[in-house]
Structures are given as C-alpha cells and as structure tokens.
Structure 1
C-alpha cells in the first residue's frame, strides 16, 4: 500500500495585514506575498505539523479537487510535500524556533531599499529640547591605550562594584573612545556618520542614555550623550523610578544587589535605519547593538573599568527620560559601568 504524501506549512511564512486591510502571508525568502481567505488560513494553521490530505478539511471539495489545490499550494511555495510525517524533521533548522524568531530571521533576507523621503531621516545628533543644560565631558589624553591583545585578554563581565565613584574624566574618556561621532560621510540628507562602533550604512540609530548614580563632578540623574559635541544633556533628576529601572534592567539580571556607578539604556531611534533598510531594519539594529556593546566592553577593559551588559528589554519603551513619542524608539540593551 503506498505511503500517503504528508503536507506541512512552509515555516518561513509570515501573516500580515495588507494596505487594503486583507490578511496576507508573506514568504520573505522568495519575496512573494499571497492573499488568503479564511479556509486557506485554517489549512495553513492546521499544517504546522505534517498531515495527509485525508486528515484535512476539504472545504466541500472533492478528493481530486482538494489534491489539485494542495499541489497548487506546493507549487506556490505555501506548502511542502514529504513522504512521511517525520521526514526531514531532524534536519529542519527551524523546528525549535518560535514564530517570532523565524520572523526575525526571515526579515534578514531583505536587501536595503530606501523607504520614503530622505528628508524625514532623523538628524544626528538627536535633539533634546527639554534638556536642562549640558555637561562638558573632559578627555584624559594622557591615558594611553594598551596593546589590543592585552585588552582582548582582559575583556570580561564584572558583576561586583567597588564603593568609589567614577570620575567625570573617566566617563568622558570612555565615551570619547567608544561612542563619539568622528565624521559625517555620504549624502548629507542621509545623516551617515562614522564612529568607533560600526552600523549598517553608517546610519547609527543607537542613542546612549545614562542613569548616573555616582560620578564625581556629575549630579545624579539621567542624561543623553550627544556624540557630536561630546557632551551630556541633563534630562531628569535622580528619582526612585530611575533607581528602580537600574535595579530591574541591570542589577536583577546580573543577580547583584549593589548597583553600578553608571548604567546605559541603549535605545534605537529606529527611523534612521528603517528609512533605508525597511523590513530588515530590526534585525540590523540588534546586530548594531552587539557591535556597540563589544566596543563598550573593550574600551572599559582598556581603561581598567568594570563593565557588564544585560539583555532584559522593555517591549514598549517607557523610560521617563525618552522624548515623545516613545514609540519612535526601540530599547535594545543595557550596559553597566563601574569601578
């Protein structure tokens, strides 16, 4: 008796709402989009696990008509056909991934495509009109860097901090080496810059916000780093909410009780990247965050400071120091810096 063919849904399919308010499924690897009706949506949902045609709802079609429909769906790439239910499962690289993780992987298949008028790209640096003033950051030019091999060898995450404050010169030197804008490059309207850390297309969307608890010469509170002028913009005074945010995003993930002298809240002003990279922007933003975190780590190691990154994120950024609209930002990481 012949083994019945089993059908399963293409795991790369992403459901979306179209501009005309219809439900579509998108295959980003094939760059194809399909409008689906309620019957097809139920069928795709049922085929998250392989099944033969005889076990499926035919939707009032005859067996021959339903077989022809399944073959059309296979030809279109919406379904996959296999000889048995478990065929290929062990080799399926996506079998343990959630739909959200698959969506992130799939979005990386898109190439950069300019989206919308370039004039709407947010400028660098990000302007904070509500700032209470700026703090000039000193740079200790006498502090020589060590050989790269030594810095790489010493790079580590530190989860305990000494009681002494950081100095403003240490903080200023750290930011100057790790995060400043060195130059503008490319067409002016695209706001491309070069910095110590790379970013896709030079479209640096990551903004550094500081929760400064104990820095000599700096009032406790929240600040925004202006990487062009190399200054801190003072945003809010020290509050219980800032202490709670530092505890929840940094201390608890690090399983420590004593907070660091400074923690960084890294947020992407995502329109800068989305305007060029479109659907793959979020994945690229997270890759850029990884590059930035490693640069912060190596700079801290070079200066003999204590660093640690944490990955606990706010799904909807609610930090009091973020400007409105907060939906213009994506929280991408945290970084502790201390002694």
Structure 2
C-alpha cells in the first residue's frame, strides 16, 4: 500500500476516531493457556492460531470483539509507553486478515475498512498536511450495497463500506481541489488506508494499467490472502438452477454434413503453421469444412463408462460447466444460406434465427473493423456467448474469469482445427454485445456475447492479405 513521509510536527492526529475490531465472522477469541497463542474461532468452524505477544493480549482481544476499540483506547489499555506493542499486535492480526478498521465512534462507526490481502495493514502514522490534498486514487470505485456505499480500491486490495450515518463523510472527497481543512480527519483516514492518489508522479508501469483492467484483475485473484472466491453456489436455495442444456433457439434446423477426418498432419506442424489471417480468400467457406470445424472444436458426445459426466466436449471448462454457446453469422458459405445461426453441439446441427439482414451485416463489418479490415468482412463470424447464471451457480467470485479462460481455450482450438483444414482463422480482440442482444432477443443477464472469431475459406494469400502470428 502507499506510505507517505512522516512529519510529526505538522501531522493530523485521529487516534480517537481511528479504531479496530475483529471481523464479524469471528465468534470467539482467546489466549491459549498452554502455549499463549491467540486463538480465533470463526462462524464457519475454522480456527486461526497466532503467536502471542505479551501479557495484554487477552485484554486487547476482548476489546476488539464486538464494537472494537479506538487506537487511543487500545494504547491506554496496554499501557504501551513505547508505542510498539499495540502496532505489533494489530499487524499480526491484519496480515492474517483477522482485523478490520473503522472510523468514528465504536458503538456506531461511520465506515469500516476490510482487506482481501495478507499484505495490508493500516496504522495511524503521522502524515504531512500536503498528503491530505491528494485526490482519491484513480483506481477507486464507488457503488451502492443496500443502504451503504462501498469504495473498492484494487491497488491496495481493500474495501471501505460507508454506513448510512456516515454518508456526509463523502462530501468533498471527490473534489480534487479540496483543501486540508475539508473533512480533515476522514481524509487522513483515507490517506492512511491508501485510498488517496500518491503525491509523487505516476510511474509509467502504473500509468499503463487502466481502471477496469486492475479492477477485474484484483477481483478475481488472491493476494497473499483469502477472499470470497470459491467453487460453490452462492444462490442455492434462493433461485432454481438453470438447465445445463440450452433449448433450441428456433424451429428452423439444418443438419450439418457428416464431419470429415482432419488431414494427416503432425501436431507440431499444425502448431507451427498457425496464423491469424484477417482477409478472406477468393474461395469461400464450404459447409463441409464448416461442419468438420464445428465437430472438431465443439461437438458434445456421451462419455463411455462415465454416467456422472453428461456430455464430453473438446474445449475444457471450469468444473466441466459448459457455459459457452456458439453462434454463427454466415456471410458467404457454399451450401448454406447467409444468416445468423445457433450451433447445438449435442445434435451437430445449426438452428437459424429470424433473419435480420441489417444487424447481420453490421456484425460482419464490426468484426472486419476489429481486425483492421474495414469493408472486407469474413465469410463467417463465430460468436461465443456466455450463459453467466449457469457458471455463477458453480463458482463464486470468478465465474466471468472462468468464461474468459474457456474462450481462450476455444480460440486456440479453432485456430488449430482451421489451420489443419486449410481455412483462414482470426480471433477478434473485441466485439459488440449489443448486436448479439438484438439478434437473439436474449437478456444480457441471461446470456451475452463475450468473444468473436472470424473464419473464412481457403488460406491462399490474396494480394495484400495480412497475416500474423
């Protein structure tokens, strides 16, 4: 986290408003009489044991249970004349994520701070007034949570929850021109918590991180700590689970030709030959090649002697929860009309959705633009859509991340199969989820497009064709 240089003679003291408490998940805390270790028992049945520090440990633990205590109260309770005992005691709890911080009176804190990292510890060190003039970190986000407001800071892996009684604390916090006398004590709390922008110029490496990238990275990873990321159904008992098998999208079914075997190439040769080919060749995509490509990449088949596995697919998925659905925007394909189709893996068939030519054309041209080929759309766009509720019922905290990981595996699978078939493949860096919503009529909360992949006919290099590794 961010540390500011100390200037005790000019510092702002908030010892009477800066407090600590054990997390509400702790139901009991004591000092073990046999080894003098600190023992914390949690609601989920887990127990945390920490090395003891001295004869005041039991008193400090008792003070931290329930409402908690301010820094001034803890220091007085421990008779900490050196100013080292209490910080050391608190640091040992913080680094095991067994400590929360609050601002305001212990009986009704105005806000509280929690960490998702085993590297975070906030103590009321002295701060120069200049540090209080810093604006909020550009990585901090604000959102509502019931009656409270949450400020998340992925840079320090911490979350600040402002209670309804503390809403006025936010007055002026977002004003970068706020002076040192504007809400001074709370700004000092934010500064110590690492929620204000560092006063020194931003390093180039930090500047390279955009807000949404760091938010997503921090929300789906651990940082020497434990956060609510787990393989569990957080909605169990509240909502019915969605069916793993998606129903047919229309009555217009097109059975695909029997897939052919891939040409006899060694894996190493196919891997070395893989390229991103952005511009379609003169020969269009053929339905036989498309059938083989879809079969090799996404088919769903029974697993012999494994009744516990519903269907097997070539592309791996988190917990074997196949939450990706594959749609095809066909512009040019011998043996298949142009249109927008849903591929049902268990049938190896395409289901055509109601025609919307203007939207289909726009999707094709959006894909071409994403590849830097404005005006030269590919023969086919494979749209990968995620049924997020299905995946979220298996994992908490990382469902969307797992969907993106599956997309990556799917993209490489398409690349290799298309290369072996002599087709022109190219992954897209982005796409238009709104177009998918309009083409399917699906709610984006139910199913949303998260990736696109272009596939065209033969790979002979037309004049000016671009390819890259």
Query: Structure 1 length as normaliser, TM-score?
Result: 0.78
Correspondence for 1:35:
162
Give the deviation of 1:128 after TM superposition: 3.0
Write the distance in 2 (CA, Å) between the matches of 1:192 and 1:204. 10
Give the deviation of 1:226 after TM superposition: 0.7
Give the deviation of 1:313 after TM superposition: 2.2
Give the deviation of 1:205 after TM superposition: 1.8
Write the distance in 1 (CA, Å) between the matches of 2:335 and 2:138. 55
Instruction: Describe the superposition over 1:113-170 as per-residue Cα deviations: whole angstroms up to 9, x where unpaired.
Output: 42213873433332135x1322222233443342111111111111222233322221
Q: Does 1:114 align with 2:226?
A: no
CA contact (8 A) 1:136 1:230 kept: yes
Write the distance in 2 (CA, Å) between the matches of 1:279 and 1:316. 25
* Matched position secondary structure for 1:223: strand
Change (3 A) 1:293 1:142: closer
Q: Does 1:86 align with 2:200?
A: yes
Give the deviation of 1:72 after TM superposition: 4.7
Counting only pairs closer than 5 Å after superposition, residues 269-284 of structure 1 correspond to structure 2 as 269-284=387-402
* Matched position secondary structure for 1:152: helix
Q: Which runs of 5+ in 2 are unaligned?
A: 1-5, 8-126, 222-227, 458-469
Change (3 A) 1:294 1:44: farther
Give the deviation of 1:208 after TM superposition: 1.0
Change (3 A) 1:164 1:95: closer
Correspondence for 2:289:
170
Q: How many residues align?
A: 318
Correspondence for 2:257:
138
What is the aligned-residue RMSD (CA, Å)?
Answer: 3.5
Instruction: Describe the superposition over 1:214-256 as per-residue Cα deviations: whole angstroms up to 9, x where unpaired.
Output: 2222222111011122111121336233122211233564314
Correspondence for 1:127:
247
Change (3 A) 1:250 1:145: farther
Give the deviation of 1:213 after TM superposition: 2.1
Instruction: Describe the superposition over 1:284-313 as per-residue Cα deviations: whole angstroms up to 9, x where unpaired.
Output: 322322221111111111111101122232
Correspondence for 1:56:
180
Correspondence for 1:290:
408
Give the deviation of 1:74 after TM superposition: 5.9
1:312 maps to which of 408, 425, 430 = 430
Correspondence for 2:214:
102
Correspondence for 1:45:
174
Write the distance in 1 (CA, Å) between the matches of 2:158 and 2:236. 23
Write the distance in 2 (CA, Å) between the matches of 1:284 and 1:44. 36
CA contact (8 A) 1:253 1:312 kept: no
CA contact (8 A) 2:285 2:456 kept: yes
Counting only pairs closer than 5 Å after superposition, residues 59-70 of structure 1 correspond to structure 2 as 59=183, 66=185, 69=186
Give the deviation of 1:30 after TM superposition: 5.2
Q: Does 1:17 align with 2:129?
A: no
Give the deviation of 1:33 after TM superposition: 4.9
* Matched position secondary structure for 2:341: strand
Select between 318-327 and 196-205 the one with higher mean Cα deviation: 318-327
Write the distance in 2 (CA, Å) between the matches of 1:96 and 1:46. 24
2:279 maps to which of 160, 168, 177 = 160
Change (3 A) 1:39 1:242: same
Structure with more relative contact order (C-alpha pairs < 8 Å, separation 6 or more): 1
CA contact (8 A) 1:13 1:78 kept: no
Give the deviation of 1:25 after TM superposition: 2.1
Q: Which runs of 5+ in 1 are unaligned?
A: none
Change (3 A) 1:178 1:295: same
